[in-house]
Homo-oligomer: A and B are copies of this chain.
């Protein structure tokens, strides 16, 4: 097959996709079609992985009692995080909306098998974290593919990973990489929510030369 050549119009749209990919915390209740979710997961499975090990493990969470347990872990961790805030930032922290688990029609846990058989361990002897990093690459692929379909994704990291693994009854050897909410976004912006609420702002990245 002839390698594809991407033109300036595609690159511009890709840049727009990168710019408008948001961490979404407010969702409309409309369901997301199963076949769309399947398409996103399949796109994720084409992500780069160390040694072609494809170590990501997808878990779609529908059961209300399991979702409630994950929600409870967020509530506990977020209360602890609030108590760690300085006096001047606590009020702002308390006003932030940091997840949309109650509204999101789709909950997806992305785990990693940190020592998969597939790939025969190639490439991860000195940097074993590359297995988890491969799962992160799958998450990002799903994120971009979702946004291109008008679907928003929010990554909830204010969770106790052990509590989530327990709530989902997953193999003990797996590790939680990302707990994701997906659905059609209620409102969109080019500006990250943490920037709009005054928590933090995007900055240019320095480049060192060696």
Chain A residues with a Cβ under 8 A of chain B: 1, 3-6, 10-11, 13-21, 23, 38, 41-48, 50-54, 56-63, 66, 77, 80-81, 84-85, 89, 93, 96, 98, 109, 118-127, 129-130, 132-133, 136-137, 140-141, 143-145, 147-150, 155, 157-161, 168-170, 176-178, 188-190, 192, 194-195, 199-210
- Contact status of A148 and B10, CB under 8 A, knowing A62-B210, A121-B84, A188-B3: yes
A59 in contact with B210 (CB, 8 Å): yes
A205 in contact with B123 (CB, 8 Å): no
A6 in contact with B204 (CB, 8 Å): no
Number of this chain's copies in the complex: 2
In the assembled complex, the Cα of A21 lies from the Cα of B145 at a distance in Å of: 14
Closest to A6 in B: B148
Closest to A187 in B: B3
B160 in contact with A126 (CB, 8 Å): yes
The smallest C-beta distance from A87 to any residue of chain B, in angstroms, reads 13
In the assembled complex, the Cα of A22 lies from the Cα of B104 at a distance in Å of: 33
Name the B residues within 8 Å of A52 (CB-CB): 192, 194-195, 199-202
B15 in contact with A51 (CB, 8 Å): no
Name the B residues within 8 Å of A192 (CB-CB): 52
The smallest C-beta distance from A197 to any residue of chain B, in angstroms, reads 10
In the assembled complex, the Cα of A89 lies from the Cα of B117 at a distance in Å of: 14
